Amino acid sequence: MSVIIQEHMSIQKKLEILSDAAKYDVACTSSGVDRSGTPGGIGNSVACGICHTFSADGRCISLLKILMTNECIFDCKYCLNRAANDIVRASFTPEEICTLTMEFYRRNYIEGLFLSSGVLKSPNYTMELMCNALKMLREVYHFNGYIHCKAVPGADPSLIEMTGWYADRMSVNLELPTADGLRNLAPHKSRKNILRPMKQIQLGRNEALGLKSYGRLSDAAGRERLLLSEKESNKENLPVSVSPVLGLVKRPTGNRGFVPAGQSTQMIIGATPENDYQIITVAESLYQKFDLKRVFYSAYVQVNEDTSLPSLPGGPPLLREHRLYQADWLLRFYGFQASELLSETRPNFNILIDPKCNWALGHLEQFPVEVNKADYFTLLRIPGIGVKSAQRIVKARQAANLRFEDLKKIGVVLKRALYFITCSGKMMYPIKLEENYITNQLISVKEKLPFGMEGGNLYTQLSLFDDVNFNSFNQSGVRSMYL
């Protein structure tokens, strides 16, 4: 292991290194919590290293986004901080984390903290440092702002539990969509060590919310229940030690609750050969089994040379990442299932059109839909009709039959919807319901894409007559992850 440690580094220099090192972690947006300030406390939940997230009421809030350390005993092949890399290493102390957070907060630069880390010495040692930083922030500095903290896979449940009482949100990164991918690129990590803290956080939240009691997860009986609830668990992987510093966890006093803003995770896209169908199936299962608030997708960015990593002739697969976020939205808010969006025979999205259009083109037998009669859930499945416009259609048609002009005023994107709907039995134009024809028309409509994905030579518009192998898009892609 090559580690260059600088003994007398200023806190400013550490901030430069550890905020830059945190930039690859995207799992930091929040669905937020709604907590007001407390008497004698500072901050509430309502420059460099600052990222933005969204509160429960949709406000954009700023977070100081840093790593506790970029030292790491692990050697994940995709990660800049892997043990094998010769890079400048730095670590914050818990006191330094508190100083930075409070100074930035007082200057009004931030409203919260996002704390991740490499693995220093051991998962327990690292988690304890992070937990101590949060404890100090809450109990010594009375910081009441938003805190998102990573859980270190492999850390003792007592440490995860204690951290959960101080954090608003926690996340455990899945890293790679399948156990095979993890074995190839992150051999020091195991699926079990990642899923266990996820399950613990879910059960702890349920208990704190009064949904179901599992007992104290740090106690032997609580652990037993936790482990019994994990089908994948086996005895060899039982955590054996209670934190030597914390001892048995004492629940802190206060009004925060246990991980009140829920948990999230992140997957790297394009470092391993999984197709879109596998990825959204994993995401769907995580939402269902672990009650996650968000799954984040991070296009693989090449920072290391390694024969087991794919080459990146076209740069990170940002457009694919975008399509997965759109599909994720369909799973969470539009009632789609992964098995409806894709299948083993149609395993990847057509990257040139959005996933809802992609689904509709594969199910043309269900179209056109009469907007004056279809129920709300059928309306939601029509390309160009979102949640708000579907709600408005259902309300507005109680007064009179809707026309295409009315739909436009309501907010329906007609340039996409017109192929899939009728108003009072008529289509907007005579259109042939034929997959290739409509695909071609949809591709020719200029789509508003997030900044950085338009133009360039990453994704060229293809003719329908090109022999498109969408699997080829799987292999491009670097973004690394921290815990």
CB of 117 to ligand SF4, least distance (A): 7
Instruction: Return the structure tokens found at 244.
Output: 């030597």
Residue closer to ligand SF4 (CB basis): 74 or 349:
74
Type of residue numbered 225: R
CB of 480 to ligand SF4, least distance (A): 6
Residue for token pair 């939940």 = 45
Instruction: Return the structure tokens found at 200.
Output: 């613990």
CB of 321 to ligand SF4, least distance (A): 18
Residue closer to ligand SF4 (CB basis): 67 or 458:
67
CB of 5 to ligand SF4, least distance (A): 16
CB of 1 to ligand SF4, least distance (A): 11
Residue closer to ligand SF4 (CB basis): 309 or 412:
309
CB of 266 to ligand SF4, least distance (A): 11
CB of 127 to ligand SF4, least distance (A): 12
Query: What phi and psi values does residue 48 have, to the nearest 5 degrees?
Result: -105, 145
Residue closer to ligand SF4 (CB basis): 19 or 422:
19
- 3-state DSSP call for residue 147? strand
Supply angle C-alpha 22, 27, 33, rounded to 5.
Answer: 115
- 3-state DSSP call for residue 451? coil
Residue closer to ligand SF4 (CB basis): 68 or 421:
68
CB of 121 to ligand SF4, least distance (A): 12
Residue closer to ligand SF4 (CB basis): 182 or 385:
182
Helix ranges, 56-190 (H)? 94-106, 123-139, 157-166, 179-185
Residue closer to ligand SF4 (CB basis): 349 or 482:
482
Q: Which residues bind ligand SF4 (CB under 6 A)?
A: 72, 74, 76, 79, 81-82, 118-119, 186, 480-483
Burial 356-379 (b: 16+ CB within 10 A, else e): bbbbbbbeeeebbbebbebeeeeb
CB of 180 to ligand SF4, least distance (A): 17
Contact 49/66 with Cβ under 8 angstroms?
A: yes
Residue closer to ligand SF4 (CB basis): 94 or 118:
118
CA 14 to chain centre: 26
Q: Which of 313, 267, 271, 317 is nearest to 470 (CA)?
A: 317
CB of 19 to ligand SF4, least distance (A): 15
Type of residue numbered 222: G
How many helices (H) and strands (E) in the chain? 16, 11
27: enclosing H helix or E strand: none
Residue closer to ligand SF4 (CB basis): 151 or 481:
481
Contact 200/214 with Cβ under 8 angstroms?
A: no
Counted residue by residue, the chain has a size of: 483
107: Cβ contacts below 8 Å, ≥ 6 apart: none
The two beta strands, 50-54 and 60-67, are antiparallel
How far apart, in whole angstroms, are the C-alpha atoms of residue 126 and residue 72? 10
Residue closer to ligand SF4 (CB basis): 168 or 175:
175
